[in-house]
Structure 1
Amino acid sequence: MARTAADGAAPFGDLPATVRFAVKPVIRFIGDALREYQECLDSRDADGVPSHLPRASALLFGQADGDEIAISDIEFVPNVRDSDESVMAEFEATIVPRFGEVYRNPKRGFWSDEKGVLQAIMKQSANGLELMGSIHSHPNWHEIGPRHERYQRLSEKPTKIDDYLFRQSCWPVNVIWYVHESGGGIAHRVAGWRPGPDQCDRLDIRIPPAIHEQFDVRIEEE
Protein backbone atom coordinates (compact mmCIF):
# COMPACT_ATOMS: atom_id res chain seq x y z
CA MET A 1 0.00 0.00 0.00
CA ALA A 2 1.40 3.40 -0.88
CA ARG A 3 0.84 6.48 1.23
CA THR A 4 -1.38 8.79 -0.80
CA ALA A 5 -3.66 10.46 1.74
CA ALA A 6 -4.07 11.30 5.38
CA ASP A 7 -6.03 9.35 7.96
CA GLY A 8 -9.78 9.18 7.50
CA ALA A 9 -12.07 7.85 4.81
CA ALA A 10 -12.29 9.77 1.55
CA PRO A 11 -15.59 11.40 0.58
CA PHE A 12 -16.63 8.92 -2.11
CA GLY A 13 -19.64 10.97 -3.12
CA ASP A 14 -21.89 9.12 -5.53
CA LEU A 15 -19.37 6.46 -6.54
CA PRO A 16 -21.27 3.18 -7.04
CA ALA A 17 -20.71 0.20 -4.75
CA THR A 18 -20.84 -2.30 -7.63
CA VAL A 19 -17.41 -3.21 -9.03
CA ARG A 20 -17.28 -5.24 -12.24
CA PHE A 21 -14.03 -6.91 -13.34
CA ALA A 22 -13.03 -7.69 -16.91
CA VAL A 23 -11.45 -11.09 -17.55
CA LYS A 24 -7.91 -9.86 -18.24
CA PRO A 25 -7.10 -8.25 -14.87
CA VAL A 26 -8.55 -11.17 -12.92
CA ILE A 27 -6.56 -13.75 -14.88
CA ARG A 28 -3.36 -11.75 -14.39
CA PHE A 29 -3.90 -11.42 -10.64
CA ILE A 30 -4.87 -15.06 -10.14
CA GLY A 31 -1.71 -16.08 -11.94
CA ASP A 32 0.43 -14.05 -9.56
CA ALA A 33 -1.51 -15.15 -6.47
CA LEU A 34 -1.20 -18.83 -7.44
CA ARG A 35 2.55 -18.50 -8.08
CA GLU A 36 3.01 -16.91 -4.67
CA TYR A 37 0.88 -19.54 -2.94
CA GLN A 38 2.67 -22.42 -4.68
CA GLU A 39 6.04 -20.96 -3.65
CA CYS A 40 4.68 -20.92 -0.10
CA LEU A 41 3.70 -24.60 -0.28
CA ASP A 42 7.03 -25.53 -1.87
CA SER A 43 8.92 -23.84 0.99
CA ARG A 44 7.53 -26.19 3.65
CA ASP A 45 10.04 -27.84 5.93
CA ALA A 46 10.01 -31.40 7.29
CA ASP A 47 7.25 -30.43 9.72
CA GLY A 48 5.12 -28.98 6.94
CA VAL A 49 5.64 -25.34 7.96
CA PRO A 50 6.39 -22.96 5.05
CA SER A 51 8.99 -20.21 5.22
CA HIS A 52 7.63 -18.15 2.32
CA LEU A 53 4.68 -15.95 3.22
CA PRO A 54 2.80 -15.39 -0.08
CA ARG A 55 2.09 -11.79 -1.00
CA ALA A 56 0.26 -10.87 -4.20
CA SER A 57 -0.76 -7.26 -4.67
CA ALA A 58 -1.71 -4.99 -7.57
CA LEU A 59 -3.30 -1.65 -8.38
CA LEU A 60 -6.75 -1.57 -10.00
CA PHE A 61 -7.48 0.72 -12.96
CA GLY A 62 -10.79 1.46 -14.59
CA GLN A 63 -13.63 3.91 -14.92
CA ALA A 64 -16.76 4.75 -12.96
CA ASP A 65 -20.19 5.62 -14.27
CA GLY A 66 -23.49 6.08 -12.50
CA ASP A 67 -24.11 2.37 -12.02
CA GLU A 68 -20.76 0.66 -11.45
CA ILE A 69 -17.00 0.85 -11.35
CA ALA A 70 -15.49 -1.13 -14.21
CA ILE A 71 -12.00 -2.58 -13.61
CA SER A 72 -10.30 -3.23 -16.93
CA ASP A 73 -6.60 -3.48 -16.06
CA ILE A 74 -4.15 -3.95 -13.19
CA GLU A 75 -0.56 -2.91 -12.57
CA PHE A 76 1.99 -4.73 -10.45
CA VAL A 77 4.39 -2.35 -8.72
CA PRO A 78 7.49 -3.11 -6.62
CA ASN A 79 7.03 -4.01 -2.97
CA VAL A 80 9.27 -1.84 -0.77
CA ARG A 81 8.07 -3.16 2.59
CA ASP A 82 11.52 -4.57 3.39
CA SER A 83 13.74 -2.14 1.47
CA ASP A 84 12.47 1.44 1.90
CA GLU A 85 13.90 2.92 5.12
CA SER A 86 10.94 5.25 5.70
CA VAL A 87 8.46 2.38 5.29
CA MET A 88 10.43 0.12 7.63
CA ALA A 89 10.62 2.97 10.16
CA GLU A 90 6.85 3.44 9.98
CA PHE A 91 6.29 -0.25 10.63
CA GLU A 92 8.59 -0.09 13.68
CA ALA A 93 7.10 3.14 15.04
CA THR A 94 3.40 2.70 14.18
CA ILE A 95 2.44 -0.69 12.78
CA VAL A 96 4.21 -3.02 15.23
CA PRO A 97 3.07 -1.23 18.44
CA ARG A 98 -0.48 -0.98 17.12
CA PHE A 99 -0.99 -4.33 15.41
CA GLY A 100 1.46 -6.78 16.96
CA GLU A 101 4.95 -8.22 16.90
CA VAL A 102 4.29 -10.38 13.82
CA TYR A 103 4.53 -7.21 11.72
CA ARG A 104 8.15 -6.79 12.74
CA ASN A 105 8.77 -9.54 10.18
CA PRO A 106 9.83 -7.61 7.02
CA LYS A 107 8.23 -10.30 4.87
CA ARG A 108 4.83 -9.57 6.40
CA GLY A 109 2.78 -6.98 4.56
CA PHE A 110 3.00 -5.18 1.22
CA TRP A 111 3.84 -1.54 0.59
CA SER A 112 3.78 -0.31 -2.99
CA ASP A 113 6.68 1.81 -4.20
CA GLU A 114 5.42 5.39 -4.57
CA LYS A 115 7.39 5.96 -7.78
CA GLY A 116 5.94 2.75 -9.15
CA VAL A 117 2.43 3.91 -8.29
CA LEU A 118 3.00 7.24 -10.05
CA GLN A 119 4.38 5.53 -13.15
CA ALA A 120 1.40 3.18 -13.24
CA ILE A 121 -1.03 6.10 -12.93
CA MET A 122 0.66 7.98 -15.80
CA LYS A 123 0.70 4.89 -18.00
CA GLN A 124 -2.95 4.04 -17.43
CA SER A 125 -4.04 7.68 -17.68
CA ALA A 126 -2.84 7.62 -21.28
CA ASN A 127 -5.30 4.77 -21.80
CA GLY A 128 -8.14 6.76 -20.26
CA LEU A 129 -8.16 4.76 -17.03
CA GLU A 130 -8.06 5.98 -13.43
CA LEU A 131 -6.58 4.43 -10.31
CA MET A 132 -9.54 2.94 -8.47
CA GLY A 133 -7.84 1.00 -5.70
CA SER A 134 -5.94 -2.15 -4.91
CA ILE A 135 -6.22 -5.92 -4.69
CA HIS A 136 -4.14 -8.21 -2.48
CA SER A 137 -4.13 -11.83 -1.45
CA HIS A 138 -4.59 -13.45 1.94
CA PRO A 139 -3.32 -17.01 2.48
CA ASN A 140 -4.62 -19.42 5.11
CA TRP A 141 -1.52 -18.60 7.18
CA HIS A 142 -3.47 -19.23 10.37
CA GLU A 143 -3.59 -22.91 9.34
CA ILE A 144 -0.23 -23.51 7.66
CA GLY A 145 2.12 -20.84 9.04
CA PRO A 146 4.42 -21.03 12.08
CA ARG A 147 2.40 -21.69 15.22
CA HIS A 148 3.33 -18.38 16.85
CA GLU A 149 1.77 -16.55 13.86
CA ARG A 150 -1.50 -18.48 13.74
CA TYR A 151 -3.40 -16.33 16.21
CA GLN A 152 -4.80 -14.04 13.48
CA ARG A 153 -7.37 -15.75 11.28
CA LEU A 154 -7.14 -14.61 7.67
CA SER A 155 -9.95 -14.64 5.15
CA GLU A 156 -11.47 -12.39 2.49
CA LYS A 157 -12.39 -9.96 5.28
CA PRO A 158 -10.10 -7.05 6.21
CA THR A 159 -7.75 -7.42 9.16
CA LYS A 160 -7.21 -4.48 11.49
CA ILE A 161 -4.13 -3.47 9.54
CA ASP A 162 -6.06 -3.75 6.27
CA ASP A 163 -8.63 -1.34 7.64
CA TYR A 164 -5.84 1.02 8.70
CA LEU A 165 -4.13 0.92 5.28
CA PHE A 166 -7.41 1.27 3.37
CA ARG A 167 -8.05 4.48 5.30
CA GLN A 168 -4.51 5.68 4.63
CA SER A 169 -4.88 5.27 0.87
CA CYS A 170 -8.51 6.50 0.73
CA TRP A 171 -9.14 4.43 -2.41
CA PRO A 172 -12.78 3.55 -3.18
CA VAL A 173 -12.07 -0.11 -4.14
CA ASN A 174 -10.07 -2.51 -1.98
CA VAL A 175 -10.33 -6.18 -2.89
CA ILE A 176 -9.09 -9.07 -0.74
CA TRP A 177 -8.48 -12.36 -2.54
CA TYR A 178 -8.32 -15.28 -0.11
CA VAL A 179 -6.32 -18.25 -1.43
CA HIS A 180 -6.43 -21.53 0.48
CA GLU A 181 -6.18 -25.28 0.13
CA SER A 182 -9.54 -27.00 -0.19
CA GLY A 183 -10.47 -30.57 -1.09
CA GLY A 184 -7.04 -31.40 -2.43
CA GLY A 185 -6.92 -28.28 -4.61
CA ILE A 186 -6.71 -24.52 -4.28
CA ALA A 187 -9.84 -22.42 -3.82
CA HIS A 188 -10.49 -18.68 -3.80
CA ARG A 189 -12.87 -16.43 -1.87
CA VAL A 190 -13.19 -12.78 -2.85
CA ALA A 191 -14.69 -9.67 -1.28
CA GLY A 192 -14.39 -5.93 -1.84
CA TRP A 193 -14.28 -3.15 0.73
CA ARG A 194 -14.48 0.62 1.09
CA PRO A 195 -13.58 2.68 4.17
CA GLY A 196 -16.70 3.70 6.08
CA PRO A 197 -17.28 5.91 9.13
CA ASP A 198 -16.79 3.11 11.67
CA GLN A 199 -15.67 0.07 9.66
CA CYS A 200 -15.13 -1.02 6.08
CA ASP A 201 -18.28 -1.26 3.97
CA ARG A 202 -18.66 -4.26 1.67
CA LEU A 203 -18.73 -3.73 -2.09
CA ASP A 204 -20.65 -5.74 -4.67
CA ILE A 205 -17.90 -7.52 -6.61
CA ARG A 206 -18.74 -8.98 -10.02
CA ILE A 207 -16.32 -11.52 -11.55
CA PRO A 208 -16.82 -12.84 -15.14
CA PRO A 209 -18.52 -16.26 -15.32
CA ALA A 210 -15.52 -17.63 -17.23
CA ILE A 211 -13.38 -17.12 -14.13
CA HIS A 212 -15.82 -19.03 -11.93
CA GLU A 213 -15.77 -21.88 -14.44
CA GLN A 214 -11.99 -22.05 -14.77
CA PHE A 215 -11.11 -21.56 -11.10
CA ASP A 216 -12.81 -22.38 -7.84
CA VAL A 217 -13.78 -18.78 -7.06
CA ARG A 218 -16.53 -17.76 -4.67
CA ILE A 219 -17.69 -14.21 -4.14
CA GLU A 220 -18.48 -13.61 -0.49
CA GLU A 221 -21.60 -11.61 0.37
CA GLU A 222 -23.15 -10.52 3.64
Structure 2
Amino acid sequence: MTVLDSPALPVLFSDEVLRRFLDAAAAEYAFITPEAPRPCFGVLTGTIADDAVLVSEIAFGRNARTTDPSAREEFARTIVPRFGSAYENAVRAWWLAPDDLLRITREAAGRGLDVLGSIHLHPDWHRLGPECERGRPLSDRPTPMDEYVFRSAGWPLNVVCYLEKQHGGFYYSLAAWDGDCAPLSLRVHASAGLVSA
Protein backbone atom coordinates (compact mmCIF):
# COMPACT_ATOMS: atom_id res chain seq x y z
CA MET A 1 0.00 0.00 0.00
CA THR A 2 1.32 3.45 -0.82
CA VAL A 3 0.71 6.69 1.01
CA LEU A 4 -1.62 7.78 -1.77
CA ASP A 5 -3.90 4.78 -1.12
CA SER A 6 -4.53 5.88 2.45
CA PRO A 7 -7.18 8.66 2.55
CA ALA A 8 -10.06 6.44 3.75
CA LEU A 9 -8.00 5.00 6.59
CA PRO A 10 -8.28 6.47 10.10
CA VAL A 11 -5.38 8.61 11.23
CA LEU A 12 -3.76 7.50 14.50
CA PHE A 13 -1.80 10.45 15.83
CA SER A 14 1.08 10.29 18.30
CA ASP A 15 0.45 12.28 21.47
CA GLU A 16 4.17 13.21 21.47
CA VAL A 17 3.82 14.69 17.97
CA LEU A 18 0.80 16.66 19.13
CA ARG A 19 2.63 17.93 22.23
CA ARG A 20 5.62 19.06 20.16
CA PHE A 21 3.35 20.90 17.73
CA LEU A 22 1.29 22.52 20.49
CA ASP A 23 4.49 23.70 22.22
CA ALA A 24 5.71 25.28 18.97
CA ALA A 25 2.28 26.75 18.21
CA ALA A 26 1.96 28.29 21.69
CA ALA A 27 5.43 29.86 21.29
CA GLU A 28 4.37 31.46 17.99
CA TYR A 29 0.99 32.44 19.42
CA ALA A 30 2.75 34.53 22.10
CA PHE A 31 4.09 36.82 19.36
CA ILE A 32 0.87 37.27 17.35
CA THR A 33 -0.17 40.91 16.96
CA PRO A 34 -2.92 42.49 14.84
CA GLU A 35 -0.25 43.06 12.17
CA ALA A 36 1.42 39.66 12.44
CA PRO A 37 -0.63 36.44 12.30
CA ARG A 38 2.40 34.26 13.06
CA PRO A 39 2.12 30.84 11.39
CA CYS A 40 3.23 27.47 12.72
CA PHE A 41 3.70 24.52 10.37
CA GLY A 42 5.09 21.00 10.72
CA VAL A 43 5.64 18.04 8.40
CA LEU A 44 4.10 14.77 9.61
CA THR A 45 5.90 11.50 9.03
CA GLY A 46 5.02 7.93 9.83
CA THR A 47 3.83 4.72 8.22
CA ILE A 48 0.80 3.20 6.60
CA ALA A 49 -0.61 0.02 8.14
CA ASP A 50 -3.35 -2.10 6.61
CA ASP A 51 -5.94 -0.44 8.83
CA ALA A 52 -4.58 3.04 9.68
CA VAL A 53 -2.25 5.91 8.93
CA LEU A 54 0.23 6.07 11.84
CA VAL A 55 1.66 9.54 12.51
CA SER A 56 4.77 9.01 14.61
CA GLU A 57 7.03 12.03 14.06
CA ILE A 58 6.97 15.73 13.22
CA ALA A 59 9.67 17.84 11.63
CA PHE A 60 9.88 21.59 11.38
CA GLY A 61 11.44 23.66 8.63
CA ARG A 62 11.93 27.28 7.72
CA ASN A 63 9.24 29.50 6.22
CA ALA A 64 10.48 30.64 2.81
CA ARG A 65 7.34 32.71 2.17
CA THR A 66 9.33 35.89 1.42
CA THR A 67 12.73 34.50 0.42
CA ASP A 68 11.97 31.82 -2.16
CA PRO A 69 11.34 33.27 -5.65
CA SER A 70 8.72 30.58 -6.40
CA ALA A 71 6.83 31.45 -3.22
CA ARG A 72 6.89 35.19 -3.96
CA GLU A 73 5.64 34.55 -7.50
CA GLU A 74 2.87 32.18 -6.36
CA PHE A 75 1.59 34.67 -3.80
CA ALA A 76 1.72 37.61 -6.23
CA ARG A 77 0.32 35.74 -9.24
CA THR A 78 -2.25 33.41 -7.70
CA ILE A 79 -2.83 33.62 -3.96
CA VAL A 80 -3.36 37.36 -3.43
CA PRO A 81 -5.64 37.76 -6.50
CA ARG A 82 -7.66 34.67 -5.54
CA PHE A 83 -7.82 34.93 -1.73
CA GLY A 84 -7.45 38.64 -1.06
CA SER A 85 -5.08 41.37 -0.05
CA ALA A 86 -4.73 39.94 3.48
CA TYR A 87 -2.20 37.52 1.93
CA GLU A 88 0.04 40.42 0.94
CA ASN A 89 1.06 40.36 4.60
CA ALA A 90 4.45 38.61 4.53
CA VAL A 91 3.81 37.03 7.94
CA ARG A 92 0.60 35.33 6.84
CA ALA A 93 0.79 31.79 5.47
CA TRP A 94 3.60 29.28 5.19
CA TRP A 95 5.84 28.13 2.37
CA LEU A 96 8.16 25.33 3.48
CA ALA A 97 11.74 25.91 2.34
CA PRO A 98 12.38 23.34 -0.43
CA ASP A 99 15.77 22.31 0.96
CA ASP A 100 14.13 21.67 4.36
CA LEU A 101 11.48 19.48 2.72
CA LEU A 102 14.23 17.53 0.96
CA ARG A 103 16.12 17.10 4.25
CA ILE A 104 12.95 16.02 6.10
CA THR A 105 12.07 13.53 3.34
CA ARG A 106 15.56 12.00 3.35
CA GLU A 107 15.72 11.77 7.14
CA ALA A 108 12.29 10.12 7.27
CA ALA A 109 13.24 7.62 4.56
CA GLY A 110 16.41 6.80 6.48
CA ARG A 111 14.21 5.76 9.42
CA GLY A 112 11.79 3.80 7.24
CA LEU A 113 9.08 6.50 7.40
CA ASP A 114 7.02 8.26 4.77
CA VAL A 115 6.14 11.94 4.57
CA LEU A 116 2.38 11.76 5.18
CA GLY A 117 1.43 15.44 5.15
CA SER A 118 1.34 18.51 7.34
CA ILE A 119 -0.13 20.20 10.38
CA HIS A 120 -0.62 23.93 10.75
CA LEU A 121 -1.96 26.46 13.22
CA HIS A 122 -5.20 28.40 13.08
CA PRO A 123 -5.17 30.86 15.98
CA ASP A 124 -8.23 32.73 17.23
CA TRP A 125 -7.36 35.47 14.75
CA HIS A 126 -10.89 36.89 15.01
CA ARG A 127 -9.90 37.95 18.55
CA LEU A 128 -6.23 38.80 17.99
CA GLY A 129 -6.25 40.28 14.52
CA PRO A 130 -7.34 43.62 13.12
CA GLU A 131 -10.93 44.83 13.28
CA CYS A 132 -11.59 43.70 9.69
CA GLU A 133 -11.01 40.05 10.74
CA ARG A 134 -13.49 40.03 13.64
CA GLY A 135 -16.35 38.58 11.63
CA ARG A 136 -14.35 35.67 10.15
CA PRO A 137 -13.48 33.22 12.90
CA LEU A 138 -11.05 30.43 12.15
CA SER A 139 -11.57 26.86 13.32
CA ASP A 140 -10.05 23.46 12.67
CA ARG A 141 -11.72 23.51 9.24
CA PRO A 142 -9.64 24.46 6.19
CA THR A 143 -9.98 27.98 4.82
CA PRO A 144 -10.35 28.46 1.05
CA MET A 145 -6.60 29.18 0.98
CA ASP A 146 -5.95 25.92 2.87
CA GLU A 147 -8.09 24.00 0.39
CA TYR A 148 -6.02 25.43 -2.46
CA VAL A 149 -2.78 24.45 -0.72
CA PHE A 150 -4.01 20.95 0.22
CA ARG A 151 -5.00 20.24 -3.37
CA SER A 152 -1.79 21.73 -4.77
CA ALA A 153 0.51 19.86 -2.37
CA GLY A 154 -1.13 16.50 -3.02
CA TRP A 155 -0.36 15.17 0.44
CA PRO A 156 -2.95 12.67 1.67
CA LEU A 157 -3.00 14.08 5.24
CA ASN A 158 -3.51 17.70 6.24
CA VAL A 159 -4.19 18.49 9.89
CA VAL A 160 -5.51 21.85 11.09
CA CYS A 161 -5.03 22.75 14.75
CA TYR A 162 -7.23 25.54 16.06
CA LEU A 163 -5.69 27.15 19.15
CA GLU A 164 -7.26 29.80 21.35
CA LYS A 165 -6.45 31.35 24.68
CA GLN A 166 -9.36 31.79 27.10
CA HIS A 167 -9.71 31.99 30.87
CA GLY A 168 -5.95 31.92 31.36
CA GLY A 169 -5.24 28.76 29.36
CA PHE A 170 -4.88 27.35 25.87
CA TYR A 171 -7.60 25.24 24.28
CA TYR A 172 -7.31 23.43 20.96
CA SER A 173 -9.18 21.26 18.50
CA LEU A 174 -7.81 19.15 15.66
CA ALA A 175 -9.25 17.95 12.39
CA ALA A 176 -7.72 15.97 9.54
CA TRP A 177 -8.39 16.36 5.82
CA ASP A 178 -7.26 14.47 2.76
CA GLY A 179 -5.77 16.05 -0.36
CA ASP A 180 -9.25 16.71 -1.76
CA CYS A 181 -10.36 18.37 1.51
CA ALA A 182 -12.59 15.50 2.60
CA PRO A 183 -12.57 14.90 6.38
CA LEU A 184 -10.55 12.02 7.82
CA SER A 185 -11.10 10.20 11.10
CA LEU A 186 -8.43 11.44 13.53
CA ARG A 187 -7.58 9.79 16.85
CA VAL A 188 -4.83 10.92 19.21
CA HIS A 189 -2.94 8.26 21.16
CA ALA A 190 -4.13 8.28 24.78
CA SER A 191 -1.06 7.25 26.78
CA ALA A 192 -1.41 9.28 29.96
CA GLY A 193 -3.17 7.45 32.77
CA LEU A 194 -4.71 4.69 30.65
CA VAL A 195 -4.00 1.02 31.34
CA SER A 196 -3.29 -1.18 28.32
CA ALA A 197 -5.91 -3.80 27.70
Q: Normalising by structure 1, what TM-score?
A: 0.80
Gaps of 5+ in 2: none
Equivalent of 1:114, from 98, 111, 122?
Answer: 98
What is the SS of the residue equivalent to 1:25? Answer: helix
| Residue identity opposite 2:188 in structure 1 | I
Instruction: Report the Cα distance in structure 2 between the residues aligned to 1:120 and 1:209, rounded to whole angstroms.
Output: 26
Q: Which residue of 1 aligns with 2:131?
A: 147
Q: 1:211 to 1:147 in 2, by over 3 A?
A: farther
- Please tell me whether residue 33 in structure 1 is matched to residue 25 in structure 2: yes
What is the SS of the residue equivalent to 2:18? Answer: helix
Give 1:208 shift. 2.3
Instruction: Report the Cα distance in structure 2 between the residues aligned to 1:36 and 1:71, rounded to whole angstroms.
Output: 23
Say whether the 8 Å CA contact 2:6–2:156 is kept in structure 1: no
Q: 1:108 to 1:151 in 2, by over 3 A?
A: farther
- Please tell me whether residue 208 in structure 1 is matched to residue 192 in structure 2: no
| Residue identity opposite 2:86 in structure 1 | V
| CA offsets 1:8-42 (integer angstroms, 9 cap, x no match) | xxx943554311112321121111011011222xx
4+ residue runs over 6 A deviation: none
What is the SS of the residue equivalent to 1:81? Answer: coil
Q: Normalising by structure 2, what TM-score?
A: 0.90
Q: Which residue of 2 aligns with 1:165?
A: 149
What is the SS of the residue equivalent to 1:97? Answer: helix
Q: 1:107 to 1:69 in 2, by over 3 A?
A: same
- Give me the CA root mean square deviation: 2.0
| CA offsets 1:62-91 (integer angstroms, 9 cap, x no match) | 000111000110110110012212211210
Equivalent of 2:42, from 41, 58, 62?
Answer: 58
Q: Which residue of 2 aligns with 1:13?
A: 5
Please say which of residues 148-157 and 30-39 is displaced more in the overlay.
148-157
| CA offsets 1:84-109 (integer angstroms, 9 cap, x no match) | 12211210110011001100111110
Instruction: Report the Cα distance in structure 1 between the residues aligned to 2:165 and 2:177, rounded to whole angstroms.
Output: 24
The alignment covers a number of residue pairs equal to 192
Say whether the 8 Å CA contact 1:16–1:69 is kept in structure 2: no
Instruction: Report the Cα distance in structure 1 between the residues aligned to 2:110 and 2:192, rounded to whole angstroms.
Output: 28
| CA offsets 1:120-169 (integer angstroms, 9 cap, x no match) | 10011010000000000001111220112344321100000100000011
Say whether the 8 Å CA contact 1:19–1:69 is kept in structure 2: yes
Q: Percent identity?
A: 34
Give 1:212 shift. 11
Instruction: Report the Cα distance in structure 1 between the residues aligned to 2:88 and 2:58, rounded to whole angstroms.
Output: 29
| Residue identity opposite 1:202 in structure 2 | P
Equivalent of 2:86, from 95, 102, 106?
Answer: 102
